[in-house]
Amino acid sequence: MGEQPNSSQTQSQYLETEMVGMRQEVDLEMSELDDEQCIYRVPQKIRQVNPKAHTPLVVSIGPFHYNDSTLKPMEEVKLKYLRRFLNRNKHLSISSLFARLIEKEKLIRSCYAGPIAYNSNDFLRMILVYACFIIEHFLRIYTGLDFTERDLLSELPVLNNVIQDLTLLENQLPFLVLEDIFNFVKPSRNVEFPCKDDKDKDFDGPVTDVGSLSFLDITFFYFLNYKRDIKSDQIDRPKHFTDLLRTFMQPSPIPRHKLNPSSRIKHLPSAASQLSEVGVVFKYLFYELLTGVDLAMMPLEKNL
């Protein structure tokens, strides 16, 4: 008869089997999460240089700054916007919105780098209030309701701070959440926005296209001051607002038919002249920047 394994060997084999199973589960879960992860904390070495540059001043819309006491005054405003959002869409119920978020909780959590400490109820309540607040806020800006029914966010200094806060990487909601809720209420949304009389933005008269808009269209309008000459149907769905602004800031190559072969740089800076003297050759690569200015980018190559 073969030698019987002792109790320590049996326990060792059991633990090894358990560890292999746990590792497989973790590897599978991490591979799924890595595909969605897109909202990060700013590295401490960068943050400590200027903490205020990475911290919201007025409003938080994500879990990273949820308990910041300096942002508490805006929590009441968010609840008011949630009530307005629900009142405008009377067919909606809190339970129907929660049901949609419950289905996506794992996906939403996976968008954030690192574990989220809040339990399911607190996390989903936070996401729901923040998402409805943003949609209502964006619709009020788009339709001009912020002019006819003025409130705290109608004041330009406050609005500018809110817009700036919504560009911060640590202060984001996944775009897919906002888009999903917006589309969920869209089929039976009634146009209850009176008019927009804001000639600087080419809107004058009743707003009648709310039901035909996408959330990306409204987001484009909200970040109008950041947007370059690009349309919402020319880009993929962004991961969040910071990702959208990154898209705005990417340079676009100038079409070849706009290039002028006779263009030459007549005067090089002194440092460039010295590089040229030792055999560095400058090549032309044209890009159109966010401002619409043509700039010659010059990769360097040593002429051997």
Mean pLDDT, range 230-241, rounded to an integer:
87
Q: Which of 175-179, 188-192, 276-280 has the highest mean pLDDT?
A: 175-179
Lowest mean per-residue pLDDT among 6-15, 100-109, 143-152, 203-212: 203-212
Q: Which residue has the tokens 């993929």?
A: 236
- For the chain, the distance separating the N- and C-terminal CA atoms, rounded to the nearest angstrom, is 78
pLDDT band, very low/low/confident/very high, at 132 (cuts 50, 70, 90): very high
- pLDDT on residue 285: 52
Mean pLDDT, range 166-190, rounded to an integer:
87
- What percent of the chain has a predicted confidence (pLDDT) above 70? 68
- pLDDT on residue 283: 63
At position 134, the amino acid (one-letter code) is I
Compute CA distances 271 → 180, 277, 298, whole Å: 54, 10, 14
Mean pLDDT, range 44-56, rounded to an integer:
92
Mean pLDDT, range 182-206, rounded to an integer:
56
Q: Which of 127-131, 222-226, 256-260 has the highest mean pLDDT?
A: 127-131
Whether the Cβ atoms of residue 111 and residue 39 lie closer than 8 Å to each other: yes
C-alpha 213 chain-centroid distance: 19
Mean pLDDT, range 50-66, rounded to an integer:
93
Examine the pLDDT at 39 and tell me if it is beyond 90.
yes
Mean pLDDT, range 144-148, rounded to an integer:
80
pLDDT band, very low/low/confident/very high, at 253 (cuts 50, 70, 90): low
Examine the pLDDT at 300 and tell me if it is beyond 50.
no
Q: Per-residue pLDDT tens for 77-128?
A: 999 999 999 888 777 888 999 999 999 999 999 999 988 989 999 999 999 9
Report CA dihedral (156, 158, 164, 165) to the nearest 10 degrees.
-160
- pLDDT on residue 296: 46
- pLDDT on residue 181: 94
- pLDDT on residue 23: 67
- What percent of the chain has a predicted confidence (pLDDT) above 90? 42
C-alpha 190 chain-centroid distance: 27
At position 133, the amino acid (one-letter code) is F
At position 196, the amino acid (one-letter code) is K
The number of residues in the chain equals: 304
pLDDT band, very low/low/confident/very high, at 161 (cuts 50, 70, 90): very high
Burial 87-115 (b: 16+ CB within 10 A, else e): ebbeebeeeebeeebeebeeebbbbbeee
- pLDDT on residue 114: 85
What stretches of the chain show up as alpha helix (H) in DSSP?
7-36, 44-47, 73-88, 94-110, 120-143, 145-148, 156-165, 175-185, 215-222, 241-249, 270-277
Which residue, among 229, 209, 199, 59, has the nearest Cα to 133 in the 3D structure? 59
Whether the Cβ atoms of residue 136 and residue 59 lie closer than 8 Å to each other: no
Mean pLDDT of the chain: 78
Mean pLDDT, range 256-261, rounded to an integer:
60
pLDDT band, very low/low/confident/very high, at 50 (cuts 50, 70, 90): very high
Q: Which residue has the tokens 């929660």?
A: 98
Examine the pLDDT at 201 and tell me if it is beyond 80.
no
Which residue, among 222, 266, 182, 240, has the nearest Cα to 61 in the 3D structure? 240
Which residue, among 196, 214, 215, has the nearest Cα to 206 in the 3D structure? 196
- pLDDT on residue 144: 82
Higher local confidence (pLDDT), 284 or 41: 41
Examine the pLDDT at 298 and tell me if it is beyond 50.
no
